[in-house]
Structure 1
Amino acid sequence: MTGGPASGRPRLLRAGMGAAAVGLLLIYNSVDTGSDADAEDGKPAPPAAAGPTVPGPSGATTKAPAAGPQAPVLKRAKPIRLRIPQIAVDAPFTELGLGPTGQLDAPPPDEKNLVGWYRDGVTPGERGSAVLAGHVDTSKGPAVFLLLSFLLPGNKIEVSRADGTVAVFSVDSVETFAKDAFPDAKVYGRTPDAQLRLITCGGTYDKKKRDYLDNVVVFAHLESSHPG
């Protein structure tokens, strides 16, 4: 493992928590996000806390055709609410910071309907890859990203922002990656436009490790924006 507090780069948290998992399991299995070259406009490539998902097909990939026309990038504005009609998501945001070891704090483990956003990273609609993270199940049952892996290319993701605008993203692909082969550059690399990444855990749940073996990542691009 490289990076961490000494390098000034936040580390990605790819943690899973099952029904009985609490506390320090939220900072389990963290790795480096990649090089400083992945930062966009001087901002660090945002890490993401990843909650667990229900078992799904490991390695599954749903890809879209080439993206259509993309909307102009927006100015920085904090995200307020996430809506994904196709999977019945309507959730507020919480800001995520870094813990003392350089790992991203996860959303509260007992909050079923809450999405995390790294407050020092790109905001949804800005140039670059904004990263959102959420649990799929918690000690209280199914959570906000339970159905994330069921999104399809062309589905819409709406992010209401503090400046009164709504950024509308179109899903490009949904992919599942083994945690021990996670493509940091693909997920966190620089982009010339405004893109979005939604991340959670997926695949088989390893009872010994008390963690899911994969990550589900939704790739999307900014399609339009309008007043809220």
Structure 2
Amino acid sequence: MTLAVLTGCSSDPGKASDVAAPASAGTSASPAAVGTPASGGAPRTERLPAPAKVSIPSIGISSSLMKLGLNTDGTVEVPPAERGMTAGWYTGGAVPGEPGAAVIIGHNDTRFGKAVFHDLNKIAKGADITVTDRQGKAAHFSVTSTESVSKSAFPTKRVYGPTGDRALRLITCDGDFDAQGHPVNNLIVYATLS
């Protein structure tokens, strides 16, 4: 099964979200493999508390987090357009602070205007991203890199695949618009636990 990313960005007033193309052949990651630690592959028996909030002080982002799963077609859910100022945590990945890739998705823009990750393209290497869990404990991540990639070449394995690092990925739309008014790229922010 190929895990495709659903990203929520569109300039089309009738369209709330936009689908990134599945990963290219040979780089798929099934939902079962997404949260599996790279070391040994044994399933986790205990998880950290679910994340409740993400903040990036350097660019003025602060949002509560909703839980996101998979749609029936295997794509990752995104927050609904009417909740564009709220980011979402993909529950099929790691909990932020655990070994593995934790993924937070947010809109850049929706039909309602600017959204939570509108300024994510301004983030700098080394910037602090703080994820606070439901018990009030904060995990701090430091940005290691960013990339803007074509949705037709989304790096599914690199974003969602197993890793021994305590990693965080933030995803939103980016780039120019196609003829239908959909952004052609995704912006991916990579960070590791500080």
Match status 1:13 vs 2:10: no
Match status 1:211 vs 2:182: yes
Unaligned runs of 5+ in 1: 5-9, 44-73, 224-228
Aligned 8 A contact 1:81 1:93 in 2: yes
For residue 113 of structure 1, report the CA deviation from its aligned partner: 1.5
Query: Helix, strand or coil for the counterpart of 1:31?
Result: coil
Deviations 1:150-192 (A, max 9, x none): 1111110001102331000001111111112222222223221
Distance (whole Å) between structure 2 residues aligned to residue 41 and residue 20 of structure 1: 38
User: Could you say if the C-alpha distance between residues 104 and 75 of structure 1 is closer, same or farther in structure 2, counting changes exceeding 3 Å?
Assistant: closer
Distance (whole Å) between structure 2 residues aligned to residue 27 and residue 101 of structure 1: 14
User: Could you say if the C-alpha distance between residues 138 and 191 of structure 1 is closer, same or farther in structure 2, counting changes exceeding 3 Å?
Assistant: same
**Counterparts of residues 48-197 of structure 1 (less than 5 Å):** 75-197=47-169
User: Could you say if the C-alpha distance between residues 187 and 163 of structure 1 is closer, same or farther in structure 2, counting changes exceeding 3 Å?
Assistant: same
Deviations 1:178-225 (A, max 9, x none): 11222222222322120100001101011x2331111100000000xx
Distance (whole Å) between structure 1 residues aligned to residue 37 and residue 142 of structure 2: 26
TM-score (norm 2): 0.84
Aligned length: 183
Match status 1:35 vs 2:54: no
Query: Helix, strand or coil for the counterpart of 1:11?
Result: coil
Identity of aligned residues (%): 34
Aligned 8 A contact 2:66 2:79 in 1: yes
Aligned 8 A contact 1:112 1:137 in 2: yes
Distance (whole Å) between structure 2 residues aligned to residue 218 and residue 89 of structure 1: 14
Deviations 1:36-95 (A, max 9, x none): 49534379xxxxxxxxxxxxxxxxxxxxxxxxxxxxxx9522111111011111111111
Which amino acid counterpart does residue 190 of structure 1 have in structure 2? P
Query: Helix, strand or coil for the counterpart of 1:213?
Result: strand
Distance (whole Å) between structure 2 residues aligned to residue 100 and residue 150 of structure 1: 34
Query: Helix, strand or coil for the counterpart of 2:163?
Result: coil
User: Could you say if the C-alpha distance between residues 15 and 134 of structure 1 is closer, same or farther in structure 2, counting changes exceeding 3 Å?
Assistant: closer
Aligned 8 A contact 1:14 1:179 in 2: no
For residue 28 of structure 1, report the CA deviation from its aligned partner: 3.3
For residue 16 of structure 1, report the CA deviation from its aligned partner: 3.0
Which amino acid counterpart does residue 191 of structure 1 have in structure 2? T
Unaligned runs of 5+ in 2: 39-45
Which amino acid counterpart does residue 210 of structure 1 have in structure 2? G
TM-score (norm 1): 0.72
Aligned 8 A contact 1:13 1:31 in 2: no
